[in-house]
Amino acid sequence: MSMVLDLNKIKDEIRNFNLERDWDRFHNVKDLIIALTSEVGELAECYRWLTEEEISTIHSVPEKKKKVEEEIADILIYLLIISYKVDINVLEAIEQKLEKNKLRYPVDKSKSLHSNPIMGFKGK
């Protein structure tokens, strides 16, 4: 399989993978979201209790980074499955959300600021 950087092609590849294995019938949205959050947990586990120095080791050692890569792939795979199950075009959704974010966070009012639900905007 050539991994062309086309999200819709990758989505079709994942859909075919699941159809060939008759897994589609297990894929209701609620369980897919649980699977997605489990994969997010597996990504978080890769970083749990590590210092910044240890984390930079993960990112610079290919064998260690592989585990992170795989968890990120699992997360995106589940997101793509959810998107085809609920008939959402991911690329269009991202494009629309980016436009919305540009309006919500204009550069002149948002540059170098992070937002926190309790503390509000803060500079770094």
Distances (CA, A) of 87 to 84, 105, 120: 5, 28, 35
DSSP character at residue 124: -
The CA angle 100-33-114, to the nearest 5 degrees, is 40
Distance CA 68, CA 58 (A): 8
Choice from 13, 15, 42, 58 touching Mg ion (CB under 5 A):
42
x/- track of binding to Mg ion for residues 5-34 (CB under 5 A): ------------------------------
Closer to Mg ion by Cβ: residue 4 or 34: 34
Q: Can you list the pairs that 103-110 forms with residues at least 24 positions away whose Cβ atoms lie under 8 Å? A: none
Q: Does 43 bind Mg ion (CB under 5 A)?
A: no
Stretch that binds Mg ion, among 52-60, 70-78, 98-106, 114-122 (CB under 5 A): 70-78
Q: By CB under 5 A, which span of 13-21, 65-73, 76-84, 87-95 interacts with Mg ion?
A: 65-73
Name the residue nearer to Mg ion (CB basis): 40 or 89: 40
Is residue 74 a contact residue for Mg ion (CB under 5 A)? yes
3-state secondary structure at position 123? strand
3-state DSSP call for residue 43?
helix
Closest CB 100 distance from Mg ion, rounded Å: 30
**Where along the sequence are the contacts to Mg ion (CB under 5 A)?**
39, 42, 71, 74
